[in-house]
């Protein structure tokens, strides 16, 4: 090493060598950062940078080379880029769960994205009647569509289905009794537990039947002068099997009518189409529930419906009017962002022939194993090349899940790639798999798979554009070599 290099690169810096913030901000490269981002952010990051350098200097681990103007400028630019990088990021979902709650549930159809973007770019007639020039009602934007699609007399929308259930129970059953089967006291992820929701709504829960069997007579005996409603809850995320019986909405409706109480059904996912037609497991529809005689049916916008987060409430004019007028509605109302996306999504349901192509959720759910296998095949060789020799990649049949509590026990025949650490690897299996998962999650467009039996599985069902993954294989290889 030459004398010069040992001075510039080898010697340790002390606190006295640190640049002042002012001096740092006057460097030409940093001036350029200031003109792009303004003084506030750049100065704050510069101070944090110098604080970090001071700590390193005091610890005796700061080299002079780190204080060269280019090094300082580059590390400051890096800090700023990191600071401005969004925390909410798009990812590639190769988990095999199509409607994945942790990955944002349903992906919006293009028509919904376009309408959302167009409506958010300026003022809109969210609560303004363009015909009369007077105040309008945001519900009216989708009420007609929802009534047409489900056959309901009236409809309203709120923030999510949890809000729809809470609001319906509070408006129709607050201060009075709500009867529910012990077999339907569900907990959905994220602390949505039916008994707690009832308590929050101010409805007194009256449980009937047992975990596995509830009969019409159980409901009949429990109805008193204090009863406001009967609640049916779709057991979305579990199944009671074996010696079981439950009472359907169609059987409960005549009882509810005769005794003058409301019948409310929380459908959870609530597909608006007959899933059986697409070869998928059947899920009860709001249409069927209304035809069976329910007064109110609630369901999610971002599960099988394939739209934005929203809680949809459809039912009789009388019930929906009470729900809409209930003060809590204002606190739970749907924002204009999902409302725009919901309107465009529902319009697709007026053109059912388009759904399987236009709704990503339905497109992915209806892909055959052979179609998914073609995606896997497109990735196989390039991925093998990128991961050799540390990992071996094999095409494999696997099973996808619908997800989000829809059709919980059904699995869809699928296909994908199974990646295992090569036996020659010196590290443990678990460590090698974790390193790979981490590298995939660390890509510019993160890739999320699932680990099962000491292998990383990449289910290729939800891939529309293999290039999104193929284009990142260089970065993946680099990350694994560095690791």
Q: Are 104 and 88 in contact (CB under 8 A)?
A: no
Nearer to ligand PLP, 192 or 326 (CB): 192
Please report whether residue 97 would count as binding ligand PLP according to CB under 6 A: no
Structure tokens at 300: 């999610």
Nearer to ligand PLP, 49 or 309 (CB): 309
CB of 93 to ligand PLP, least distance (A): 18
Q: 226: buried, middle or exposed (CB in 10 Å: 19+, 13-18, 0-12)?
A: exposed
Q: How far apart are CA 96 and CA 259, in angstroms?
A: 46
Map tokens 């949505």 to a residue: 192
Q: What angle do CA 121, 99, 407 make, to 5 degrees?
A: 140
Please report whether residue 285 would count as binding ligand PLP according to CB under 6 A: no
Cβ-proximal residues to 466 (8 Å cutoff; 6+ apart), any chain: 375, 378, 379
The residue within the footprint of ligand PLP, chosen from 17, 185, 192, 377 (CB under 6 A), is 192
Q: 215: buried, middle or exposed (CB in 10 Å: 19+, 13-18, 0-12)?
A: middle
Please report whether residue 300 would count as binding ligand PLP according to CB under 6 A: yes
CB of 163 to ligand PLP, least distance (A): 7
CB of 165 to ligand PLP, least distance (A): 6
Structure tokens at 329: 């509605």
Nearer to ligand PLP, 162 or 398 (CB): 162
Please report whether residue 236 would count as binding ligand PLP according to CB under 6 A: yes
Please report whether residue 290 would count as binding ligand PLP according to CB under 6 A: no
Nearer to ligand PLP, 33 or 162 (CB): 162
The residue within the footprint of ligand PLP, chosen from 109, 173, 183, 268 (CB under 6 A), is 268
The residue within the footprint of ligand PLP, chosen from 156, 161, 227, 400 (CB under 6 A), is 161
Q: How far apart are CA 197 and CA 185, in angstroms?
A: 10
Map tokens 């059709």 to a residue: 407
Q: In this chain, which residue has its C-beta nearest to ligand PLP?
A: 268
- For residue 424, the tally of other CB atoms under 10 A from its CB is 7
Only one of the segments 184-192, 366-374, 413-421, 474-482 lies at the binding site for ligand PLP (rule: CB under 6 A); that segment is: 184-192
The residue within the footprint of ligand PLP, chosen from 99, 106, 162, 383 (CB under 6 A), is 162
Nearer to ligand PLP, 77 or 164 (CB): 164
Q: What angle do CA 11, 15, 21 make, to 5 degrees?
A: 115
Please report whether residue 266 would count as binding ligand PLP according to CB under 6 A: yes
Of 398-457, which residues contact ligand PLP (CB under 6 A)? 405
Q: Which residues of 447-466 are buried (b: 16+ CB within 10 A; e: fewer)?
A: bbbbeeeebbbbbbbbbeeb
Cβ-proximal residues to 142 (8 Å cutoff; 6+ apart), any chain: 155, 157, 339, 342, 343, 346
The residue within the footprint of ligand PLP, chosen from 72, 233, 314, 340 (CB under 6 A), is 233
The residue within the footprint of ligand PLP, chosen from 100, 232, 234, 363 (CB under 6 A), is 234
Nearer to ligand PLP, 33 or 197 (CB): 197
The residue within the footprint of ligand PLP, chosen from 160, 265, 375, 415 (CB under 6 A), is 160
Cα 393 to chain centroid, rounded: 29
- Interacting residues toward ligand PLP by CB under 6 A: 160-162, 165, 186, 188, 192, 233-234, 236, 266, 268-269, 300, 311, 405
């Amino acid at each position: 090493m030459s004398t010069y290099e040992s001075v510039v690169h080898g010697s340790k810096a002390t606190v006295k060598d640190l640049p002042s913030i002012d001096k740092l901000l006057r460097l030409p490269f940093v001036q350029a950062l200031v003109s792009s981002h303004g003084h506030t952010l750049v100065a704050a990051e510069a101070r944090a940078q110098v604080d970090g350098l001071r700590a390193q200097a005091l610890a005796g681990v700061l080299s002079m080379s780190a204080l060269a103007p280019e090094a300082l400028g580059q590390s400051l630019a890096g800090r700023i880029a990191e600071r401005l990088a969004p925390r909410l990021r798009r990812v590639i979902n190769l988990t095999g769960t199509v409607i994945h709650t942790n990955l944002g549930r349903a992906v919006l159809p293009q028509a919904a994205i376009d309408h959302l973007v167009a409506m958010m770019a300026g003022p809109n007639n969210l609560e303004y009647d363009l015909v009369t020039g007077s105040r309008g009602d945001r519900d009216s934007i989708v009420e007609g569509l929802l009534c047409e699609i489900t056959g309901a007399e009236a409809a309203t929308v709120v923030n999510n289905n949890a809000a729809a259930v809470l609001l319906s129970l509070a408006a129709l059953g607050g201060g009075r009794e709500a009867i529910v089967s012990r077999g339907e006291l569900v907990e959905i992820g994220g602390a949505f537990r039916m008994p707690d929701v009832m308590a929050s709504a101010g409805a007194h829960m009256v449980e009937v039947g047992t975990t596995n069997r509830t009969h019409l007579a159980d409901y009949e005996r429990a109805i008193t002068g204090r009863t406001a409603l009967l609640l049916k809850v779709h057991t979305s995320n579990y199944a009671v099997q074996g010696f079981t019986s439950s009472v359907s909405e169609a059987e409960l409706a005549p009882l509810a009518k005769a005794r003058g109480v409301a019948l409310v059904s929380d459908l959870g996912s609530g597909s608006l189409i007959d899933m059986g037609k697409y070869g998928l497991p059947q899920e009860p529809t709001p249409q069927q529930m209304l035809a069976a005689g329910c007064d109110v049916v609630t369901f999610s916008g971002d599960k099988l419906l394939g739209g934005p987060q929203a809680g949809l409430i459809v039912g009789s004019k009388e019930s929906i009017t009470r729900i809409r007028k209930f003060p809590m509605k204002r606190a739970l109302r749907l924002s204009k962002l999902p409302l725009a996306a919901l309107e465009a999504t529902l319009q697709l349901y007026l053109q059912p022939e388009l759904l399987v192509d236009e709704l990503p959720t339905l497109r992915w759910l209806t892909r055959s194993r052979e179609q998914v296998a073609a995606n896997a095949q497109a990735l196989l060789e390039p991925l093998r090349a990128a991961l050799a020799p540390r990992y071996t990649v094999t095409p494999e049949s696997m099973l996808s899940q619908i997800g989000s509590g829809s059709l919980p026990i059904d699995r869809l025949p699928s296909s994908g790639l199974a990646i295992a650490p090569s036996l020659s690897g010196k590290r443990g299996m678990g460590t090698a798999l974790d390193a790979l998962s981490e590298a995939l999650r660390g890509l510019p467009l993160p890739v999320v798979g699932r680990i099962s039996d000491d292998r990383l599985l990449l289910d290729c069902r939800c891939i529309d554009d293999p290039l999104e993954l193929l284009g990142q294989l260089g970065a993946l290889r680099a990350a694994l070599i560095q690791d």
